[in-house]
Amino acid sequence: MKHTGICMISLLGGMVVGSALAMLLTPQSGPELRGKIKDWVEEEVEKAKTKAEKMQETLKQRLDEARCGCETKEA
């Protein structure tokens, strides 16, 4: 499991670097390119926030289920 996490982080990092290089090497004006990069970063941040919120909700549900399971066993 530890190696899987490292691989996923490496893959995502490579994707980010590759995307940034592709944007920087395309023939566009500076302001246009900066605008595209800014828009892309904002979209990715929003996606990450959404996924984090979903994961947080899932974790809360699982913790509640675990607590309920423990309470019924003790009673």
At 16 the pLDDT is 87
Please tell me the distance from the alpha carbon of residue 59 to that of residue 37, in angstroms, as a whole number. Answer: 33
Structure pTM? 0.51
Please tell me the distance from the alpha carbon of residue 58 to that of residue 60, in angstroms, as a whole number. Answer: 5
Give the pLDDT band of residue 71 (cuts 50, 70, 90): low
In this predicted structure, the answer to whether residue 74 has a pLDDT above a threshold of 60 is: no
Q: In this predicted model, what pLDDT tens digit does every residue of 18-56 receive, in sequence order?
A: 888 887 777 777 788 788 889 988 999 999 999 999 999
At 52 the pLDDT is 93
Total domains present in the chain: 1
Q: Write out the residue range of the structural domain in which residue 51 sits.
A: 2-74
Query: Under a CB-based contact definition with an 8 Å cutoff, are residues 23 and 41 in contact?
Result: no
Helices (H), the chain: 2-25, 30-74
Give the pLDDT band of residue 12 (cuts 50, 70, 90): confident
